[in-house]
Structure 1
Amino acid sequence: MNGPSSIRNQRDPGLLTLQWAEGEAVISHARLRGACPCSQCRAARLQGRVSVVTADVRVERVVAQGYGVQLVFSDGHERGIYPWHYLRDLG
């Protein structure tokens, strides 16, 4: 799957905007952090543990990984790589 034509990270108000061929998707930083696809976060969700994500969490950096992006969050979490198809589904 191809990635978006552009990605805009807005620290205030905490939104990641992705421009796909069929339109724009806007996802809050808190939603992205709560839906982290790393193995630790996925395992916690499968075990029924809910991580509390504060509304003020922010994406500090967006790092291209070819098939998606690695998001580095203000709470120090940086393990998740978000594939394009996963981001499309979240948006």
Structure 2
Amino acid sequence: MTVLPQAINARQSLGQLQLTWQDGRQQCLDFAELRRQCPCSQCRAFRLRGARPLVSADIRLLQANPQGYGLQLVFSDGHERGIYPWAYLAGLPTAPVAQ
């Protein structure tokens, strides 16, 4: 059974995507780290070669589009290929929750 978030909130001023999961847990993910961890085949191949994507610290999330099994994220650098499965998002490192 796939666990889905109850709420998805792009906190633009903080540069974070906030997910509230069904168990009440809140998770904040930095836009830049989300971009670095993109699960698309091109980005995965880049990381498998030992390269770390160069991502601007001021990158923004333009869209978050639910796709059933995950979330397609569209970034201000034009990258929009990755669909982040819910379980993958839940396993990413959480940023400090900013107020």
| Fold match by TM threshold 0.5 | yes
Code of the aligned partner of 1:30:
A
Once the two structures are TM-superposed, the CA of residue 51 in structure 1 deviates from its matched residue by: 1.0
Equivalent residue, structure 1, for 2:97: none
- Cα offsets for 1:21-59 (capped at 9, x unmatched): 141000010010010000000000001122111110111
Residue aligning to 1:15: 16
Moved beyond 2 Å, runs of 4+? none
Q: Which runs of 5+ in 2 are unaligned?
A: 95-99
- Identity between Structure 1 and Structure 2 (%): 51
Give the partner amino acid of 1:16: L
Counting matched residue pairs gives: 91
Cα RMSD over matched residues? 0.9
2:26 equivalent among 24, 47, 50: 24
* C-alpha separation in 2, matches of 1:30 and 1:47: 20
Secondary structure of the residue aligned to 2:5 is: coil
Structure 1 residue 61: Cα displacement? 0.2
Normalising to structure 2: TM-score of the pair?
0.88
Gaps of 5+ in 1: none
1:53 maps to amino acid = V
Among 35, 38, 47, the alignment partner of 2:37 is 35
TM-score (norm 1): 0.95
**3-state SS, counterpart of residue 45 of structure 2:** helix
